[in-house]
Structure 1
Amino acid sequence: MKLLDGPTTPRYLRILRTLQWIFHPLDVLEERAQRYGDTFALGKNTSTPLVYVSNPEAIRQILTADPDRFESGRANKPLQFLLGENSLILLDGRKHQRQRRLLMPPFHGERMRAYGKLICDITEQVISQWKIGEAFYVRSAMQEISLRVILSAVFGLDKGQRFDQLRQLLSSLLDVIGSPLTSSFLFFPSLQKDLGSWSPWGRFLRQKQQINQLLYDEIQQRREQADPCGDDILSLLLSARDEAGQPMTDEELRDELLTLLFAGHETTASALAWALYWTDYLPEVRDRLLSELDTLSPDTDPTTIARLPYLSAVCQETLRIYPIAINPFPRTLKAPMEIMGYQFEPGTNLLISIYLTHHREDIYPEPKRFKPERFLERQFSPYEYLPFGGGNRLCIGMAFAQYEMKLVLATILSRYNLTLADSRPIKPARRGFTIAPPGNMRMVINQRQRQNTLVSLSEKSKS
């Protein structure tokens, strides 16, 4: 049996190493991979080591193994304060299977494609407020679009007091945990102290309580309406039944709605901000993408737009080079397991490193280079390219997120040319548990000489 390698950090240095992980996660990952290889352990001499894996064959063995060999929800407990104990992300076994079956229908087939026009219209509504020649904060603008999309798709809300309250509270709550400094309490439970509304944790708790109440009020109102014809996600979840004919409880609905709201808009907004950055930073990428968009006719439907090869490749490469989630949460072994010659005992936490896998030079030559063409030249396996995780923990909103990303990007670039206010390279920054472009990244709005189909479609819908 092969022996695991990995850093051994003295107790007095652990806080320092954690701070390095909070503020410079990608540097820490790359330094460890360069030193220890594609499989290494943190706390290797403890009963619950954390093992990082970025070898595609090892990833295949983990993702194709019987899910009952792992306890995955328990490792996600750090998210319980945000999402609630009934969130799909925190469940295991039969409970996880039940919730996944109840949640799947709204994200597939005709149900998902029905949101195409909604996504294009909301994008056009937001960007129509932009002014030529002005600079704007990219991530904030993308959050505005993605938040409106998720509120409309999940609740069917696009105006009204509850819409405005949820929109403001969700944005504010994410800002509380958004920077590396304020997100420190995610990694240090000892900092989770309610010191009043002026403290980060106290402010978070009060805003979370307000969001909970708004969600419960919406659930109660919708139950009383009992509209079986609604096509928003909440309507579909209210009518969903498990194998025993039982619906979700109010608490289950609230926690799943929180999961969709937080995971469904923040991550997409960050990915869109990265895509806009790359399409300006690399003019050859922008020019090829615009040439593809300009081939569309005025009556092109959103599904056809989402199938455009180079548009898809740009979005895929965006999620490869800087995956928003640099790793999924660990899978904790319940029984011994051998992987690639290593013997792992129960209690071992196996962590697939999405970022390190996406930066393997043997899979992606010149991995630091943004090169969409690589996705036109070959197809990567789900063990080589996995920005949404994999196996039975694959992100349930993967198809929706990809669909939204393509349509929003195409709609924006069809109307405007966006140029970086500062041409210097942008480095990723921590945003809670994710990695995103820095919040101060700005772009300047310039009119495109040709406005193609997506603008025509949006304006046609207003008439």
Structure 2
Amino acid sequence: MQLPNLLKTPSLLQKIQWVINPVRFMENADQQYPDIFTAEGIGFGDNVVFVNHPQAIKEILTNDKKKFFAVAEANRIAKPLVGEYSVFLLEGDLHKQRRQLVMPAFHGEQMQGYGQRICSLTEKALSQLPLEQPFLARNLTQEISLQIILQVIFGLHEVEKLQKFNHLLLQMLNLFQSPLTSSVFFFSFLQKDLGTWSPWGKFLRDREQVDILIYAEINERRQQPDTKRVDILSMLMSARDDAGQPMTDQELRDHLITLIIAGYETTASAIAWGLYWIHQKPLVREKLLQELDTLGDFPDPMSIYRLPYLTAVCNETLRIHPVLMFSLPRVVQEPVELLGHPLQPGTLLLPSIYLVHQREDLYPQPKQFKPERFVESKFSHYEFLPFGGGVRRCIGEALALFQMKLVLATVLSRYQLALVDRQPERPQRRGFTLAPANGVKMVITGQSAREKPLVNMTTTSVF
């Protein structure tokens, strides 16, 4: 089978480069073959065709089930973490049905109810940091993101339960915080249980402890149903499929873990990148503060969410440092031509989010942080796609953006922060995502001039 622009590097070396430094791997390949190139043996099958031309991506994402099929099989690498029934691994009607069950939790009145909780959790996490002592912004955003997940998705509020979940989830998820430890997912020979001292053995035991807590919580909810609960776990437990059947315990577990993985790592990294760039660019920070001041005291969270310059800053953050490197792979269904290259059925295509966001013809000086891009221009869903696209677009996009905007706004309105290290941060693999390599080291230098919290923390929320 003839493939477009096949990289000449030996396949094993390609895989090592992809695991250790995916950004450099993609950029080097793109320099050789702009728009489209074929990598070999990097973990999705024998060969995978990277595509980063907007028109080609549009054709791929708008022809699902016809010329191109969104293949969840390519996500099998994540199965040990998310489980068999994760929406990452479901296809066809079952995938569509499960998405429809979850979608209401991320829209409308539910989202508005999350706003107060997000702001109050952010304020609480910040208040526990000492002044003038360095901290890693990504650790802070991890803490905030995980607490939002535990309270919004799980609906946990009892201190003891929160502490147990928090400890065990962090213990499991932080195992794969570097390219080296992440490699166990890409090289099957490393997936050996050699006891608690081995990375895979420790992962299996940590996963078991997390599962015990999740199944215990599900069982408790089944024994003591409460129709007034509005957290996402309760909504999933009350949902019924077309045959009137509820989800099994394992299905619930897999959906919850998927939401945790998708929401925790990605959102924490995106907010940390936002804090980095806002404090790298004093004029950006000043414009944001001026915009926030126009809202007065105790603005509605949705008013914060709609702020145009804050939206532009978040979009530019997600453009220059997308947490997700690519959209879900698609498989060619029938002979087709893409960018002048003939493709045969079975060819695996990978729409590259990172490379699209770095295109000079779309974003002049792409390495520069310029929120004004998103004020002066509008970009299509095939030019700016931080959450993927098509039928497999990230289901938690709305909540992620809502959380990102509210956390950044709360931090800026309440505290004065500064970067400790002026050296540029760089993206590094963290599991299946990209995160700031050094964690964004910062320090709180004082409180802001604003005397009151951004939103009324005493307002009764839906929780």
Is TM-score (shorter-chain normalized) higher than 0.5?
Answer: yes
Q: 1:452 to 1:323 in 2, by over 3 A?
A: farther
Question: 2 CA distance for matches of 1:457 and 1:132?
Answer: 24
Match of 1:436 in 2: 435
Asked if 1:359 is matched to 2:358, the reply is yes
In structure 2, what residue type is equivalent to 1:60? K
Structure-to-structure mapping, 1:238-249, within 5 angstroms: 238-249=237-248
Match of 2:8 in 1: 8
Q: 1:26-80 deviations in whole A, cap 9, x for unaligned?
A: 1111111111111111249x99531000011100111111336415110100010
In structure 2, what residue type is equivalent to 1:25? P
Aligned-pair identity in percent equals: 50
Q: 1:243-281 deviations in whole A, cap 9, x for unaligned?
A: 222211111111000001111111100001100000111
Asked if 1:185 is matched to 2:184, the reply is yes
Q: 1:160-188 deviations in whole A, cap 9, x for unaligned?
A: 33321111111111211111111111111
Q: Secondary structure at the match of 1:114?
A: helix
Question: 2 CA distance for matches of 1:101 and 1:217?
Answer: 26
In structure 2, what residue type is equivalent to 1:153? V
> Which deviates the most, 392-401 or 290-299?
290-299
Match of 2:16 in 1: 19
Matched-pair contact (CA < 8 Å) for 1:8–1:43: no
Scaled by the length of structure 2, what TM-score is found?
A: 0.95
* Number of residue-to-residue matches in the alignment: 458
Matched-pair contact (CA < 8 Å) for 1:324–1:434: yes
Asked if 1:154 is matched to 2:153, the reply is yes
Matched-pair contact (CA < 8 Å) for 1:67–1:392: no
Question: 2 CA distance for matches of 1:454 and 1:410?
Answer: 11
Match of 1:34 in 2: 31
Q: How far off is 1:460 after superposition?
A: 6.8
Q: How far off is 1:3 after superposition?
A: 6.7
Question: 2 CA distance for matches of 1:31 and 1:176?
Answer: 29
Match of 1:60 in 2: 58
Q: How far off is 1:219 after superposition?
A: 0.8
Question: 2 CA distance for matches of 1:256 and 1:329?
Answer: 18
Match of 2:303 in 1: 304
Question: 2 CA distance for matches of 1:191 and 1:109?
Answer: 44
Match of 1:451 in 2: 450
Question: 1 CA distance for matches of 2:101 and 2:457?
Answer: 33
Match of 1:104 in 2: 103
Q: 1:448 to 1:67 in 2, by over 3 A?
A: farther
In structure 2, what residue type is equivalent to 1:189? S
Matched-pair contact (CA < 8 Å) for 1:421–1:442: yes
Matched-pair contact (CA < 8 Å) for 1:313–1:372: yes
Matched-pair contact (CA < 8 Å) for 1:6–1:42: yes
Q: Secondary structure at the match of 1:350?
A: strand
C-alpha root-mean-square deviation of aligned residues, in Å?
2.0
Match of 2:212 in 1: 213
Q: Secondary structure at the match of 1:104?
A: helix
In structure 2, what residue type is equivalent to 1:26? V
Match of 1:385 in 2: 384
Q: How far off is 1:426 after superposition?
A: 1.1
Q: 1:134 to 1:460 in 2, by over 3 A?
A: farther
In structure 2, what residue type is equivalent to 1:450? A
Q: How far off is 1:456 after superposition?
A: 5.8
Structure-to-structure mapping, 1:12-411, within 5 angstroms: 14-43=11-40, 48-67=46-65, 69-411=68-410
In structure 1, what residue type is equivalent to 2:4? L
In structure 1, what residue type is equivalent to 2:26? L
Q: 1:303-345 deviations in whole A, cap 9, x for unaligned?
A: 0011111111111110000100111232223433332332222
Matched-pair contact (CA < 8 Å) for 2:328–2:388: no
Asked if 1:414 is matched to 2:413, the reply is yes
In structure 2, what residue type is equivalent to 1:310? Y
In structure 2, what residue type is equivalent to 1:255? D
> Which deviates the most, 318-327 or 62-71?
62-71
Q: Secondary structure at the match of 2:444?
A: strand
Provide structure 2 residue ranges, at least 5 long, that are not aligned to the other structure: none
Matched-pair contact (CA < 8 Å) for 1:331–1:349: yes
Q: 1:423-462 deviations in whole A, cap 9, x for unaligned?
A: 1111111111111012443101022441265446236779
In structure 2, what residue type is equivalent to 1:66? D
In structure 2, what residue type is equivalent to 1:411? T
In structure 2, what residue type is equivalent to 1:190? F
Q: 1:371-427 deviations in whole A, cap 9, x for unaligned?
A: 001101111100000000000000000000000000001001111111111111111
In structure 1, what residue type is equivalent to 2:292? L
Question: 1 CA distance for matches of 2:179 and 2:165?
Answer: 24
Q: 1:4 to 1:456 in 2, by over 3 A?
A: closer
Q: 1:102-121 deviations in whole A, cap 9, x for unaligned?
A: 11111111112210001001
Question: 2 CA distance for matches of 1:379 and 1:300?
Answer: 27
Question: 1 CA distance for matches of 2:194 and 2:27?
Answer: 37
Q: 1:375 to 1:260 in 2, by over 3 A?
A: same
Q: Secondary structure at the match of 2:457?
A: helix
Q: Secondary structure at the match of 1:151?
A: helix
Question: 1 CA distance for matches of 2:45 and 2:26?
Answer: 22
Scaled by the length of structure 1, what TM-score is found?
A: 0.95
Q: 1:272-301 deviations in whole A, cap 9, x for unaligned?
A: 110000011111111111111122211310
Q: How far off is 1:347 after superposition?
A: 1.8
Question: 1 CA distance for matches of 2:268 and 2:238?
Answer: 29
> Which deviates the most, 50-59 or 432-441?
432-441
Question: 2 CA distance for matches of 1:56 and 1:216?
Answer: 43
